[in-house]
Amino acid sequence: MYGLIGKLTAAPGQRDALIAILLEGVRDMPGCLSYIIAKDAADEHGIWVTEVWDTEASHKASLSLPAVQDAIARGKPLIAGFSHHTVTVPVGGHGLK
């Protein structure tokens, strides 16, 4: 499996709008086993994204899907920055096969 954990910082007042866009863009992504969006409890602008994919290739392929491209285009203006980008190797857990 292939995993990613990253933190986005939304522009002031845009966190909920950005979260809505991120959640819309995750439908029908072949190979995606888990895609979790979470508000940072200590940062009013922070959003954590945790992804688990069957392979790195599936993740890369998802970036060309029309729904994902649309979410990126609409979400980009609402993002103030990125931090904490980490690649992981998931080994299992509740909700994963």
Q: What digits encode the pLDDT tens for the residues 73-91?
A: 999 999 999 988 999 999 9
27 has a pLDDT exceeding 80: no
The CATH number of domain 2-88 is 3.30.70.100:
yes
Segment (H or E) for 21: helix 15-24
pLDDT tens-digit readout, 32-44: 999 999 999 999 9
Among the ranges given (9-18, 45-54, 66-75), the one the predictor scored with the smallest mean pLDDT: 66-75
**Any residues with CB less than 8 A from the CB of 66 and at least 6 apart, and which?**
none
The pTM for the full model equals: 0.91
* Rounded Cα–Cα distance for residues 52 and 31 (Å): 9
